[in-house]
Chain A
């Protein structure tokens, strides 16, 4: 009798628990897909910087006097940062902050080399 009175609340609660479980499942999938996409974007941009720095390091090394002294250090810093960029999830690292640091190093290197390059991914929206 008691159960019958609370029937509505009971099913309401069952439904809620089912919903949480379902939400976690689909949310996990959604999160995975988003992480995959963002990770791909990051890696693509990082790859651009790696190619850029390797290329310019070889040029500067052949003709050091033509560039400011700190150019090589700046390029090597950039390359190191890219190569050591974490590839696994780590909640203690803010990837966007680290990425902005890399972007800053890239801009500083461009300025020293007196070249105009910019990484652009036409599908990316940066705010």
Chain B
């Protein structure tokens, strides 16, 4: 079997996949309330197997997953309004409660000490990991006026970005224990579905229901629009992944396709579409796209779709 490899196992929409930062494996979560762990079973990576299924923790759809930077703690968040913390060979060690309803996204800070979650209740929560599965809430940020879709930490600093149904991205930082929003990015014309920083943190990519991709550049006063790719997809763009090994950005969405875009920071409008993969999951929406973070496998890309499938692609440009 060649590329892409098709991974069957979930029995409902697959919402997200998260690559381990330290070894060649990833986890996926689904509307079937389970988390699956996938590993390659052949050295040429043409066959992947599900080595574990975790299905006892959440009572509703699991929407998002995130590995901590050391790759030994996994966080999962669910429409059941809780966030699960998994350690030591996938043992559920903690359940974080607080959100009023569906938790949409979870993200670890670069140091692995802070965890952010966001929800349909319009709030973003920041938790500090105290060790031994103990988490303390250090902030509840209620400035978005709608459903918060996605959260992402800066790759080095304690700066958090959140994207919302209110069409904005907010940037947060800490001032003596008090988290506040220091900037609101308002360029998108509709729901901002996902955000991802580049490896330096000087650039931030965002994708939206307005079918555009925007790359923001950091300046002394905050993040500003650097490049814009309007009408990149024909429908809502749901997910964006910025490779941590190079300047390739991958996007996917409701038009059943995914795109590989190269970013050149020195060009005035530095976004070039390198390749578009049509009908990558047949006629199903593609919910998530993610580059493998490992240097030796940086050409691997995984996509997750409404067709219950995950596909692993080897991208050659």
**Residues of chain A within 8 A of B69, CB atoms compared:** none
Mark the stretch among A10-18, A38-46, A95-103 that contacts chain B: A95-103
A100 to B123, CA, bound (A): 10
**Residues of chain B within 8 A of A70, CB atoms compared:** 136, 138, 177
| CB–CB B139/A103 < 8 A | no
Selected contact of B142 from candidates A68, A104, A110, A111, CB within 8 Å:
A104
Interface size grouping (class) on chain A: 10 to 19
| CB–CB B123/A107 < 8 A | yes
**Residues of chain A within 8 A of B177, CB atoms compared:** 70, 73
| CB–CB B123/A104 < 8 A | yes
A73 to B178, CA, bound (A): 10
| CB–CB B143/A111 < 8 A | no
A91 to B98, CA, bound (A): 33
**Closest-CB distance, A72 to chain B (whole angstroms):** 12
How many inter-chain residue pairs (CB < 8 Å) link A and B?
38
| CB–CB B137/A112 < 8 A | yes
| CB–CB B142/A108 < 8 A | no
**Residues of chain A within 8 A of B137, CB atoms compared:** 107-108, 111-112
Selected contact of B178 from candidates A77, A97, A100, A112, CB within 8 Å:
A77
**Residues of chain B within 8 A of A97, CB atoms compared:** 143
What is the interface of chain B, defined by CB distance below 8 A to chain A?
Answer: 97-98, 123, 125, 130, 136-143, 177-178
New contact pairs (5) apart from A107-B123, A107-B140, A112-B137, CB-CB < 8 Å: A101-B143, A103-B140, A107-B98, A108-B125, A111-B98
Sampled A-B contacts (28; CB under 8 Å)? A68-B136, A70-B136, A70-B138, A73-B177, A77-B178, A100-B142, A100-B143, A101-B142, A101-B143, A103-B140, A103-B142, A104-B123, A104-B140, A104-B141, A104-B142, A105-B140, A107-B98, A107-B137, A108-B137, A108-B138, A108-B139, A108-B140, A111-B97, A111-B125, A111-B136, A111-B140, A112-B136, A112-B137
